[in-house]
Amino acid sequence: MKTYKNIFKSREDAAKKLHDVIPMQKLKDESWKLVAVSSGGLSLSSFLRGRFLNPIEFLFSEAIYAPNNDECEIARVSEGEEIVINEALVTAFEIKYDYIYGEARRKHEEKILSYIYQYRKGRHFPSMKGQVVLLVDEGSETGLKLISAVKTILAQRPKAIYIAVPILPSDVLEKLDEFADDVFYIHQIDDYVETSLYYEEFETIDEDTIEKLLEDK
């Protein structure tokens, strides 16, 4: 069985490899909007854009976990209050939807709104109507983060929506293909573990770095 451990040296290395599968000239000429869905995706977006002037935005979301299990993500809410649910887990654990919607409201009010004020000074996420959007993340365990972002952007009626993610599970790729115009990736893995395993360098993106990257957008 092929091993994928440390297949990327860093986020910058992953971005360079993505350059080979993303139509970068088209990205420049059509003024694609880069939208990161995580702090790591924000760092990756900066490396991906390189010398181009395409704007970068951060679309915030928060995970909703199973009751009494803060490691099992069962749903996710975006800053547009769109909710994506892992129906299989919710059914298996007999979780009530009232719990999910209640947690979604709480996470939006307590977490997401604070991110918006901290990193955007209260500015709302800009409209992507009629725009070509490239969602960016460094990897994906469940796909909920990217799917919630796709749902949020689609509600704004973009011209097209693409996804760039260096590495992701095969089943997540199948799901994303249903919603996006195209998915740009380097590796799809059947037995995906966790994203950090596939990077030799996987430093935490601190608050100061996030603010600087957004200021440089």
Candidates 68, 76, 69; CA nearest to 100 is 76
pLDDT at 1 over 50: no
The CATH architecture annotation of domain 11-59+128-215 reads 3-Layer(aba) Sandwich (3.40)
pLDDT of residue 217: 61
62-120 and 11-59+128-215 share a CATH fold: no
- CA-to-CA distance for 108 and 74, rounded, in angstroms? 16
CATH topology of domain 62-120: Ybab; Chain: A; (3.30.1310)
How do residues 162-197 score in pLDDT, each as one tens digit? 999 999 999 999 999 999 999 999 999 999 989 999
- Which whole number is the average pLDDT over 145-159? 96
Taking the alpha carbons of 150, 10, 75, 213 in that order, is the dihedral positive or negative? negative
Q: Domain segments of the chain: what residues? A: 11-59+128-215, 62-120
Provide, rounded to the nearest whole percent, the portion of the chain with pLDDT above 90. Answer: 89
- Which whole number is the average pLDDT over 131-157? 96
- Which whole number is the average pLDDT over 133-162? 96
- CA-to-CA distance for 107 and 154, rounded, in angstroms? 22
pLDDT tier, 34 (very low <50, low <70, confident <90, very high otherwise): very high
SS3 92: helix
Query: Can you point out the beta strands (E) in the chain?
Result: 33-36, 56-58, 61-66, 69-78, 83-85, 132-136, 160-164, 167-169, 182-184, 187-189
Please give the mean pLDDT across all residues of the chain: 94
pLDDT at 5 over 90: no
pLDDT of residue 68: 85
